[in-house]
Structure 1
Amino acid sequence: MSKSIKIHFLGASGTVTGSKYLIETPEKNLMIDCGMFQGIKKLRELNWQQLPVKASTVDLVLLTHGHLDHSGFLPRLVKMGFNGSIWGTAPTLDIAEIILRDSAKIQEEDAERANKDGYSKHDPAEPLYNTDDAEKAISRFQKREEAEWIAVDNNTRVRFQYNGHIIGATFIEIDIYGKRFVFSGDIGRPNDALLRAPKKPKSADILFIESTYGNRKHIEEDTLGKLKQLIDETIQKGGTLIIPSFAVERAQLLMYLIWQLHKKNLIPASLPVILDSPMGARALSTFNKYPEWHKLTEKDSADMKDRVHIVESFKETWKIIDDSRPKVIIAGSGMVTGGRVLTYLQKYIGREETTVLLAGFQAEGTRGRQLLDGAEEIKFYGKYHQVKACIDILHGLSAHADQTELLDWVSDIKKMPEHVLLIHGEPQSLDMMRVKLKDTYNWSAHIPELYEIADIQL
């Protein structure tokens, strides 16, 4: 009697955020990633809806890495009735722990602010989940080794494989009844300043591959040179350089680059460089805790940290805002969707001497994308703020593989997969990646829609 496996595409299908995939096997139901939707309102509203599958039927969650769009829905899943375990590498679960606590706190604060200022249509405004919900999810974390096969049951085993991107990130191989399912997660870059090159899968019967940059190659630029130029211009204008940053990997990479400029005496030693991201500061400690996962030496980490002032409290944020000296501020969040960066932008975005430097992918519907697209005003905290600041972007810092690197990542798979499924991309990127896979390897790829169910015969 033949067996079948159902795959439910519960997120990051036809879009970049909300990664969630459920594999329904005869014995177990495995969810790969459990991310929050971000970006346009239509996507964010999906976070509030019930899933088309019962959370109580999910036996195990496997995390590729800790980013919010891959782990941020976990407290909601637990709230919906999930009662299983959550597996990931040690640094992934440490990062996810930081991110979930921070996400819960931000949502609580946003709801409190909305109720106080009366700008929400909901009465009262409520958080998607709270700190207690986050702690219940974190209590289910179980750390697993990288590169080792782990049995789930008699017919299923999983393996986490180093994938660059951020500390702890992996792609996940799952063998079910002899069929190999490979979930790419987010694929890192081969020449990252902080992380080693991603491993490559050797075989895949069913391949799920991210396509964030499936339609483009990253622009080659002198990242250090551009950063120095913008810092010089900021000093000359007597302004402030604000860099909205993802707290994990990006904030640490920016610190590293600024430290490099400092070591080479290319920026003044007196220039204040500030990291105002509690989550970014905690993520830095994860780098120190897991030296085998990155390239930095212990001394490099210490010296880099010494060059940057790390903000300890929100009260200190306001002191920094009132300081009129030229300065560099690195603050979350990377797509300007929330976090401390909004507090700075509230005061600085209307000033011509301010530069806002975007340092990563800006999803559709985010304030970061609006700024990148030339918006004359952006809305946050219930008000519109005029944009007079200079808006720029560093192209060389992406933690995602580009089209060429994605094609190379699958180059060791000699036998054509039975199914290639393109996920985690916007429509144009997904379609271009589909064409390139056909042209390069003669692989036919499918682009699943949200809530589609695929039936795989074993």
Structure 2
Amino acid sequence: MTQPTLTFWGAAGTVTGSRFLVETDASRILVDAGLYQGPRELRQRNWEEFAVDPRTLDGVVLTHAHLDHCGYLPRLVRDGLDAPVLCTAETAELAAIVLRDSARLQEEDAAYATEAGFSKHDPALPLYDERDVERTLPLLRPVPLHDDVPLTEDSLVTLRSAGHILGATSVLVDAAGSRALFSGDLGRPGHPLVPRRENPPEADVVVVESTYGDRTHPAPPGGPADDVLADAIRRTVARGGSVLVPAFAIDRTELVLLRVGELMTSGAVPTVPVHLDSPMALRALDVYRRALAGVDPRLLPPGWDVETFGVPDLRIVRSADESVALNTPRQPCVIISASGMATGGRVVHHLAHQLGDARNCVVLTGYQAVGTRGRALLEGAREVKMHGRYVPVRAEVVNDPEFSVHADADEVLEWLSRCPSPPRAVYAVHGEPQAARALADRVTDELGWLAVVPRFGERVRLD
């Protein structure tokens, strides 16, 4: 009998494009089907023929609904995938939002490429379109946490809470008796809106994220006086500017709203209009509202409100005209808009109009991948390119790591240390090379376990 194997077809040497193939004599299972994001050479991988014929896959398992974990699914379906996609019910609901939005952007990009004449196809082709997404969604098969779900005759899949976003899980695959645990994106211990991550189960190998593998998050602020966001809002409003927060549409928007509401209701910052300008974030917000409606209020932050998340003057931006008006606000305000790395969406238009004004402030609230506008701003760029033009950066740019929902290096080590027994190997993935190497070294030095940073396309045995 051929021994079970694992091949790293994504998130190896980079943060995005999570795709891990588990194979036995009787099964082929793909854990995550993420899009590559960031530099062009990575994004080009989305267009290359996938190393495995999608028609031969027996199933896909999604850890969660972020684009770099689920965004490649419609392309697989376009190329022949017709197998169940296991995930939690919340992930299925959020993935529908993410994939429909992604298809729309793919089609818009193709239309722009055709109009501008820089595609080798005429008309330019999207990676996938809305029809592919609608063919994908019926394949999503929600399963409960902790159930051992048979996927093939020799494989079982079990999901456990990862505490990252609503519905996020770690995935245990029992492949012909060899157990591979995929951490997915691990959340931090204190996420106020989703179930906490669970301890890892017994596993032969662990594939663990290393997004923050070379750093630790700052200690939580002691109060509003030393709160990065509060200070930025106070400063900006005092000089007559507006605060622009690029935020991921799923989970990050909810956390930012929650924190802004706390600051304003406590009087720590002035109460100004808070504009939520992201159609995708609004749809995700509804999913969170439904999920949280039945939660015991005592388990939620004080003053939390299911409709406004505690924001005194929350204004929902629905039309394109309303969004355009926010490019040049008439009064100091807070604008929350996607995408979180400023790679697309309405926030790019706001940045194009507001970065040139020194009264304004941009608050970055999460990981900024290499090659994104967010990363350029984080690293002090004096100008950024948007819509074919360079825009000067005169606005203040602030990084607030409080909103990260990725475990840092210490938190990942603590999670790994709770394994019932040492795994035979730990593979550090989903991190830039330096971060993955740093985490692997700490696993070896502090836990005494074998830890490896796998190469793209590398195949290893699971037994």
Which TM-score tier does this pair reach, normalised by the shorter chain?
over 0.9
Conserved? CA contact 1:157–1:174, under 8 Å: yes
Conserved? CA contact 1:200–1:412, under 8 Å: yes
Secondary structure of the 1:351 match is coil
Residue 343 of structure 1 corresponds to 349
Counterpart pick for 2:309 among 304, 310, 324:
304
Give per-residue Cα distances to partners, 1:389-412, cap 9 Å, x unaligned.
111110111100001100111122
Conserved? CA contact 2:24–2:176, under 8 Å: no
Conserved? CA contact 2:26–2:153, under 8 Å: no
RMSD across aligned positions (CA): 1.9
Give per-residue Cα distances to partners, 1:212-240, cap 9 Å, x unaligned.
11111112252852222111111112111
Secondary structure of the 2:454 match is coil
List aligned pairs for 1:42-57, cutoff 5 A: 42-57=41-56
Residue 288 of structure 1 corresponds to 289
List aligned pairs for 1:342-421, cutoff 5 A: 342-421=348-427
Cα drift, residue 314 of structure 1: 1.4
Secondary structure of the 2:305 match is helix
Residue 335 of structure 2 corresponds to 329
Range with bigger deviation, 126-135 or 364-373: 126-135
Range with bigger deviation, 165-174 or 229-238: 229-238
How does the TM-score come out when normalised to structure 2?
0.94
1:113/1:177 CA distance change after superposition, 3 Å: closer
Counterpart pick for 1:262 among 249, 252, 264:
264
Cα drift, residue 363 of structure 1: 0.7
Conserved? CA contact 2:246–2:337, under 8 Å: yes
Give per-residue Cα distances to partners, 1:296-328, cap 9 Å, x unaligned.
489622242664212112121012224321111
Matched, 1:434 2:440: yes
Q: Which runs of 5+ in 2 are unaligned?
A: none
Q: Structure 2 CA distance, aligned partners of 1:111 and 1:453?
A: 34
Cα drift, residue 120 of structure 1: 6.0
How does the TM-score come out when normalised to structure 1?
0.95
Q: Structure 1 CA distance, aligned partners of 2:4 and 2:399?
A: 43
Q: Which runs of 5+ in 1 are unaligned?
A: none
Residue 38 of structure 2 corresponds to 39
Q: Structure 1 CA distance, aligned partners of 2:152 and 2:402?
A: 43
Paired-residue identity, %: 39
Conserved? CA contact 2:262–2:310, under 8 Å: no
Cα drift, residue 29 of structure 1: 0.8
Cα drift, residue 115 of structure 1: 3.5
Give per-residue Cα distances to partners, 1:31-52, cap 9 Å, x unaligned.
0000000011110111110011
Q: Structure 1 CA distance, aligned partners of 2:117 and 2:319?
A: 26
Q: Structure 1 CA distance, aligned partners of 2:360 and 2:113?
A: 28
Matched, 1:219 2:224: no
Cα drift, residue 119 of structure 1: 6.3
Secondary structure of the 1:302 match is coil
List aligned pairs for 1:93-242, cutoff 5 A: 93-117=92-116, 123-222=122-221, 224=224, 225-242=227-244
Range with bigger deviation, 106-115 or 251-260: 106-115
Q: Structure 2 CA distance, aligned partners of 1:400 and 1:236?
A: 33
Q: Structure 2 CA distance, aligned partners of 1:122 and 1:220?
A: 51
Matched, 1:450 2:456: yes
Conserved? CA contact 1:167–1:293, under 8 Å: no
1:187/1:69 CA distance change after superposition, 3 Å: same
Matched, 1:422 2:416: no
Q: Structure 1 CA distance, aligned partners of 2:20 and 2:218?
A: 31
- Count of residues in correspondence between the two structures: 455
Secondary structure of the 2:4 match is strand
Q: Structure 1 CA distance, aligned partners of 2:431 and 2:151?
A: 30
Q: Structure 2 CA distance, aligned partners of 1:440 and 1:227?
A: 35
